[in-house]
Amino acid sequence: MGLIYYLKKLRDGYVINRVKRIKLPCFEETPIVRKRLIFSGRVQRVGFRLEIYELAKRLNLTGWVKNRADKTVEAEIQGENEKIIFLIEHLKSLKRASVRGVEIEKIPVVDDEAEFYLIKK
């Protein structure tokens, strides 16, 4: 196991601890929606997917996130709309990533989805 492995472990630990320290606001209850998000900019190789995964779990959102070949990150996120908006705004504020754009598409809700998945290549 080389230096790259240990650097990734260090970065992942940083991301996980950072997400644990985020102060979550009190959200008003809103209807469940599902959105497809495509983030562009410097969003790969900076712990961006892990940040989405960890924060989505804290917010009790379901869905998945993955890297795309065109260097964007795609996610389908389901849950209360206010929580999804909070997640998007948080990701846009990250210093180690540089979100240049977010495509947002409302899509049909998936019944019986219970978890959030981080899809690796």
Residue 108: DSSP 8-state: P
User: Is residue 27 in some structural domain?
Assistant: no
Identified catalytic residue from 34, 49, 81, 100: 49
d(CA 91, CA 109): 22
Domain hosting residue 86, numbered range: 3-22+32-119
Q: What is the CATH number of the domain that holds 100?
A: 3.30.70.100
Mean pLDDT by groups of 10 residues along the chain of 121 residues: 87 93 94 97 95 98 98 98 97 95 98 95 71
pTM of the model: 0.93
Residue 109: DSSP 8-state: P
Q: How many domains does one find in the chain?
A: 1
Question: Please, which residues bridge with residue 106 across strands?
Answer: 35
Any residues with CB less than 8 A from the CB of 117 and at least 6 apart, and which? 53, 63, 64, 65
User: Is residue 71 in some structural domain?
Assistant: yes
Question: What is the residue type of 116?
Answer: F
Q: Catalytic residue at 67?
A: yes
Query: Which H or E element spans position 104?
Result: strand 98-107
Identified catalytic residue from 18, 42, 58, 67: 67
